[in-house]
Amino acid sequence: MKKLVVSIAMFVAVFATAFAADGSKISYRVEAAFKKEFAGAKSVKWEVVRKAELFQAHFIYNNERLNAFYDAEGNLIATGRFVAVANLPYLLRKNVYEKYKGFQIKDVIEYVQGDETSYLISVENEKAKLLVHGYINGSAYIFKKEKKNSLAKL
């Protein structure tokens, strides 16, 4: 259950519920752990995930845009990276296209927590935006659903 709660907090953080923190709010433990794990990372920006006591680093590492999540003790909880739709596992991509006909895939984040890899897939159409949580085996479920504001298009 705790793993699910942490996963939800991290997924939501990637797409909108984090707020900027200045460097002084990030503990020495967290920064030291980050520097050890991702030595040479560039363009590091930190955020604090609301209500979750998680610290999120956005950065470039080996020419790749990544996110890393740490707890207050400096333990790496998970990493995430944006990937191309073509890089989704075949079964998952096929399932999303079939299950969410009429929706277009906008963003895909590959998310690694421990030894488990999953994907957060943002799909949308003219009426709604869905965040779909998917797995290598092809299973997927709606994680979050938002109605689009039709007035925003005016």
Residue 23: burial class (beta carbons within 10 Å; 0-12, 13-18, 19+): exposed
Provide the H-helix boundaries in the chain. Answer: 2-15, 28-37, 90-99
pLDDT at 10 over 90: no
Pick the CATH number of 85-153 from 3.30.420.10, 1.10.10.60, 3.30.365.10, 3.10.450.360: 3.10.450.360
pLDDT at 154 over 50: no
Give the mean pLDDT of the chain.
84
The domain defined by 2-79 folds into Nuclear Transport Factor 2; Chain: A, (3.10.450)
> Which of the residue ranges 18-22, 41-45, 144-148 has the most confident prediction, judged by mean pLDDT?
41-45
- The pLDDT > 70 percentage for the chain reads 79
| pTM given for the model | 0.75
Residue 101 neighbours by CB distance under 10 Å: 8
The reported pLDDT for the residue numbered 143 is 87
